[in-house]
Amino acid sequence: MSNRPDKFGPAAAVAGVLFAVVALVAGCTIDRGAGSGSAPDEPIASITMTPDDDAADVSPTAPVSVTVENGTINQIALTNANGKQVKGEVSPDKRSYRTTEPLGYDSSYTWTGTAIGTDGKPVPIDGTFSTLAPKATLPATLNIGDGQEVGIAAPIIVQFKGSVQNKAAVEKALTVTTDPPTEGAWAWFPDDNGGSRLHWRPKEYWTPGTTVHVGAMLYGLDLGNGAYGDSDITSDFTIGPAQIVKADAPSHRMQVVRDGAVVFDFPVSYGEGNEARNVTRSGIHVVTEKYEDFMMSNPPFYENVRERWAVRISNNGEFIHANPASLSAQGAANVTNGCINLSPADAEAYFPTARYGDPVEVTGTRIQLSAADGDLYDWTIDWPTWKSMSALTGKPATTVSATPVPPQPAGGR
């Protein structure tokens, strides 16, 4: 019997067991990685877009943003159909992005970019949406421009080039900021030439030196009947000295009072008053325009007569102007067709001091200024009635003329 170990003996058996264990362990490792069928871990970063992907009829002023959970923004852009990138900003922690300019009407927009999760894996930022398509957009204008100095009776007027139905929404989009603080209110007037308009005025005359900022955030605003605001408009202006024209018809004189002191006291002639159209209206008028030369007409009395130093105080044809033809009556009798007539020298002296918004307080005649005399009769309306003409107090009240006398031709009276 040989002493050499048999390969199938005890030693070989032990070796065989060890080999089997090693083979078993190796076999388990291979099965776990390739043979189990489990998928790789998904990226953990998640993207939220506002508005939602594929959203339609989005307001061009609606918030537009992207936020990332469990990650940060690596790169991002929002572009329109023409490839123009919308301005925007990423938050300091790089977890959100928002646009910083309004979008366009009836346009499509596309997101592109990448976020990186806290697991280091990238996630694409992609999506599209589109903005609403208005049936119409309505431009609006402000009557007072940046840097202008106006009189203490100047109203602020927003004029639309079309009819506004959602009047309350418009008022909520308007702001008037003053220093010092000034009590005032908006009032809607009847549509003018097919367009809606609203006026803001203080309860009392403006305080001289007041600074005023007007903001009308109308772009993207639903004005009703498929119409939307065309653009935002703003204005910054100041209130000038307290210049008031005191025009007492029975006295046949006109005083110009500035900051409480009489600076001019002129002999004048007012409307003859023999018929309604020739009556200078009593009430607070407002200076709106002035012309060194102006061709005036008032059929059947006269046509295309050149007058000098003409200051318009209403849209019914009332002016303060020079009139050599009535010189003999000035200071003694009222003989005009409704205007306030001065001598050429006195009219020239007053003319450069007149500014938009100066009040002209006419007293002593038999007909009051009203809506029949044009679109600027704000100061003839008492304060409770004025506030009732706001759309925010309910349905705006309509102020109508108490005097059925049609406005005269714009050329003069």
Q: Would you call the peptide bond into 51 cis, given omega within 30 degrees of 0 as the criterion?
A: yes
Is the whole model's pTM more than 0.75, yes or no?
yes
The pLDDT of residue 81 is: 95
Percent of the chain clearing pLDDT 70 (strictly above): 85
Active-site annotation holds for 28 = no
Number of other residues whose CB lies within 10 A of the CB of residue 190: 11
Question: pLDDT confidence of 31, banded at 50, 70, 90?
Answer: very low
pLDDT surpassing 80 at residue 209: yes
Residue 394 has pLDDT above 80, yes or no: no
User: Under DSSP, is residue 197 helix (H, G, I), strand (E, B) or coil?
Assistant: strand
**What does R_g of the chain's alpha carbons equal in angstroms?**
39
Residues 6 or more apart whose CB falls under 8 angstroms from that of 168 comprise 391, 392
**Separation CA 350–CA 311 (nearest Å):** 9
Given the residues 28, 199, 213, 321, the one annotated as active site = 321
The pLDDT value recorded for residue 43 is 93
Residue of 27 and 41 predicted with greater confidence: 41
Would you call 252 exposed, middle or buried from its count of C-beta atoms within 10 A (0-12, 13-18, 19+)?
middle
- Of 105, 128, 101, nearest to 57 by C-alpha is 105
Average pLDDT of span 284-304? 85
Question: Residues 64-88: what's their mean pLDDT?
Answer: 97
Q: What pLDDT shows up at residue 375?
A: 82
Whether omega before 5 lies within 30 degrees of 0, making that bond cis, reads no
How do residues 143-191 score in pLDDT, each as one tens digit? 999 999 999 999 999 999 999 999 999 999 999 999 999 999 999 999 8
Instruction: For residue 191, give Cα distances in angstroms to 160, 194, 227, 231, 399.
Output: 9, 6, 16, 20, 12
Specify the length of the chain in residues. Answer: 413
Average pLDDT over residues 199-213: 98
Task: Read off φ and ψ for residue 93, nearest 5 degrees.
Answer: -85, 0
Distance of CA 368 to the CA centre of its chain: 33
Residue identified by tokens 């008492």 is 382
